[in-house]
Structure 1
Amino acid sequence: MLGIENLWLFVVSGLLLNMIPGPDSLLIAGRAATQGFKAGSAAALGIGTGTMIHIVAAALGLSAVLASSATAFTVIKILGGAYLIYMAISMLRSSSADGNTELMRKPKASLKRIYYQGFITNLFNPKIAVFFLAFMPQFISASSENKALAFIVLGLIFNVNGMLWCHLIAWMSASLSHRLSVGIATKKWLSRLTASLFGMFGIRLLLTSQS
């Protein structure tokens, strides 16, 4: 079908790759633990939207430009790393409210804003674009008459599996938070821990090389 080879191996590999912890899964778990399943789902859907853009870009050859151009890679890397660090600082400032009463009154992030955070976090990670460019062709026959369509089909499969895993993370995080009756003070420190990890991911992305 469309020259797609070893589909079962692609599905298994994709699931395993989606399970590797990163800023995407961290955002989903953090939002779900502090604001519930819907917040985690919004983050996951934003991430899924960003992933689809990477997939289409790779299918059209745009990711090849990113992989071959040091300037383009650096620009996207700086934008992505800066946004992660911005999120870390915002979360730290939010969790530094004086007193639990003030923290309780502070409005929660809207689902739209959480979706946007997931989208931007995923979109401005150049490693994802390069990953698809390197990973997908292994499962497409060289004789395929429509490689771009095969690429997009594989991308859809990868993204659907990823969304299932991401929503499982959201459900488990929200469920665990509810069962443990996580208090405001605990959520405050959880937010600080998440912010610190986001800062770490941002710095690591800024320091990453093109190769």
Structure 2
Amino acid sequence: MDGAEFATVALVHLLAVASPGPDFAVVLRQALMQHRANALWTAVGIGLGILVHVAYSLLGIGLIIQQSVMLFTALKTVGALYLTWIAIQCLRSGPATLDTGETMPTAQSAGKAFRLGFLTNLLNPKATLFFVSLFSVVISPATPIATQTFYGVYMALATGLWFALVALFFTLPAVRRAFARFGHWLDRLMGGVLLLLAGRLVMSSVSAGE
């Protein structure tokens, strides 16, 4: 394995995963509005969603999606609709939805929390662009498939770990108490952010179709 190539992949991935986006917004909301277990399940879902992007990038399907205006526009549209649906759930939240303790009943099942993270990552067109670019530009075509697969597994684990740490931090009682004063307004703010992200996807889809 080329150490320099792996270091480049790790650095580029770290910068990408740490930048704000739908994944971060969803995990932040889960951490502040749900129990810790649900936030962690959402982080696991995001990490496993990465493996899907890795799989189609290795197979070359991602490049086909990127080069097909119709397919990529369809992906953006589905992603925008999903983010809009999540945003509406946030905007409809009422007062006293912020969990500052461990006695509030869990509103989600583990499966629902996992699907939320998995689908948020899977339907994010930026993730498609990132992984297609990574596997076609940063990673050499001469790199063995086994090594490329290792890179993909590493990025999935690193992504899951990063968002698990985000979930753990924002579910700390002191952090939740600090956010408690904002209550459902914070939830609505998250909804607004997700709507803006969905709007950007729609606008980029319209621009691509012109």
| TM value normalised by structure 1 | 0.84
Alignment correspondent of 1:112: 111
Alignment correspondent of 2:87: 88
Alignment correspondent of 1:155: 152
Alignment correspondent of 2:70: 71
| Amino acid across the alignment from 1:19 | A
Match of residue 188, structure 1, among 160, 184, 188: 184
Any idea what the Cα deviations from partners look like across 1:164-210, whole Å, max 9, x if unmatched?
A: 21111111111166552654x73311111111111111111222256
Q: Gaps spanning 5+ residues in structure 2: where?
A: none
Q: Does 1:169 align with 2:166?
A: yes
SS in 2 for 1:208: helix
| Amino acid across the alignment from 2:32 | A
Any idea what the Cα deviations from partners look like across 1:9-40, whole Å, max 9, x if unmatched?
A: 32222222211011101111110112132121
Alignment correspondent of 2:36: 37
Cα drift, residue 83 of structure 1: 0.7
| Amino acid across the alignment from 1:203 | G
Give the paired residue count.
202
| Amino acid across the alignment from 1:159 | A
In 2: Cα distance, 1:114 partner to 1:16 partner: 25
CA RMSD of aligned residues (A): 2.6
In 2: Cα distance, 1:107 partner to 1:45 partner: 18
Q: Does 1:20 align with 2:31?
A: no
Report if the CA contact (8 A) 1:77-1:125 is conserved. Answer: yes
Pair 1:106–1:142, CA change in 2 (3 A): closer
| TM value normalised by structure 2 | 0.84
Q: Gaps spanning 5+ residues in structure 1: where?
A: none
Cα drift, residue 59 of structure 1: 0.5
In 2: Cα distance, 1:202 partner to 1:100 partner: 27
Alignment correspondent of 1:207: 203
In 1: Cα distance, 2:104 partner to 2:7 partner: 50
